[in-house]
Amino acid sequence: MLKTISSASFWQPVLAAAAGVAFGVLLEKSRRRRTTASSSSDVVRSGIDVVVDKEQLEELVASCLRSAGTPPEKAKLVARVLVAADCRGIPSHGVNRAEMYCGELKAGLIDPTAEPTISSDSKAVANVDGNNGLGAVVSQYAMQLCIQKAKTNGIGLVVCHNSNHFGIAGFWSELALREGLIGFAFTNTSPFLVPTRACSRAGGTNPIACYCPGDGDSFQLDMATTTVPVGKVEVCHRKGQQMPHGWGVDTGGASTTKPKDVLMGGGLTPLGGLEETAGYKGYGLNMMMEILCGVLSGCTKVGPAVPPWRLDRGVAVDYGHCFMCIDPQQLLPSGNFQQSLSAYLRAMRSLPSTASSVLVPGDPEKAQEASSESGVRLNRHVALGLRSLARTLGCAVPGALRDLPEDEVPLCPHV
């Protein structure tokens, strides 16, 4: 009997072979492309830079915060956190944020004088009430408490509620790293994530930082659980630049390259992107952060209920954070952790590579930090925005920003 071959089964091997060839070509092309690899941070960093002295920049940001009602010591700390992000090549969370922080302070949405207090405390864990103070002030207090607990008990976990935006998560993990501890820092934020299968925003960009001390080396993972943090979209918007596909979606849930679409009601994809590319794993990590930061600390609003990070919100955002420190010395008293970690990092970096070299988390930021010694690079549009903020608040502007042309109007990061 003649066996009829369905057109589907006839075409299957042909298509598979063609797909194999196409895949091989694509792989080869992507390999070739990857020799000039660029990360989402490279996309945001591109453009004309203005170099500003680090101390002058910190003083400028601190003076803006003081003008908006922040006591000097607290202003200095917040300025250090923001400038540290620019030094590490993370302009999405650097002085770019000064405008929003000052706006929140001026609108009375944050209490700039508030001191955090402990609402529950036991041997290894504590819950801190941020009293709606500055996120950096709450985080410094909580991480220092967490470090003490880890040094005494081997491990410490401190959650915070009623706080505000804390900047780059890695800044807080680094405090633990300097003490020879493994440091984790997490926060929840206002909704920007469009969860897998959802069609509206329902979670923050909820970053994860984990820093581990090596022997003269370190592992420094610091990342949003969305494909990119919203700050990267804002910087693209400031620069009048399109975003790569995959970062975000418009109000209809379609992939977009226009920052405005994401900022005006669309949202960000979870880390991993669409369901087909396993974006549900990023979504799961994102929820994990919300649980550790918001639910565990007793925040009044979590997930989709967290107020938007906008000046017209009229209420406190009530962000939660979670800090965890582990003392490796108490698990490996021989002091082997640091050496083993360094050997592991060296092994990863020496893998055969398709680009210039294999990196481990933290390497790109460490390189940027080293190059910031001679001055902090700001994108021209971010610099123009900062100059405009300083002038509005009556603060003295350093030379590098004074020299920028007067006829350029800075784009507002928010639409």
Point out which residues bind ligand NAD (CB under 6 A): 39-41, 90, 92-93, 165-170, 187, 189, 205, 207, 209, 220-224, 228-229, 232, 359-362, 364-365
Copy the structure tokens of residue 116: 């955090």
Minimum separation from the CB atom of position 109 to ligand NAD (A) = 16
Q: Which is nearer to ligand NAD, 229 or 328 (CB)?
A: 229
Q: Which is nearer to ligand NAD, 106 or 349 (CB)?
A: 349
Distance, CA of 297 to CA of 282 (rounded, Å):
22
* Number of CB atoms found within 10 A of residue 407's CB: 5
3-state helix, strand, coil in the chain (%, to 5): 45, 15, 40
Q: Which is nearer to ligand NAD, 167 or 259 (CB)?
A: 167
Minimum separation from the CB atom of position 349 to ligand NAD (A) = 10
Distance, CA of 70 to CA of 141 (rounded, Å):
17
Minimum separation from the CB atom of position 4 to ligand NAD (A) = 52
Give the CA-trace dihedral at 109, 110, 116, 122, to 10 degrees: 50
Q: Which is nearer to ligand NAD, 125 or 359 (CB)?
A: 359
Q: Which is nearer to ligand NAD, 42 or 121 (CB)?
A: 42
13, burial (CB in 10 Å: exposed 0-12, middle 13-18, buried 19+): exposed
| Non-local CB neighbours of 20 within 8 Å, separated by 6+ positions | none
Distance, CA of 178 to CA of 323 (rounded, Å):
15
Classify strands 182-187 and 267-268 as parallel, antiparallel or unpaired.
unpaired
Q: Which is nearer to ligand NAD, 123 or 245 (CB)?
A: 245
Distance, CA of 207 to CA of 189 (rounded, Å):
9
Copy the structure tokens of residue 173: 């993990």
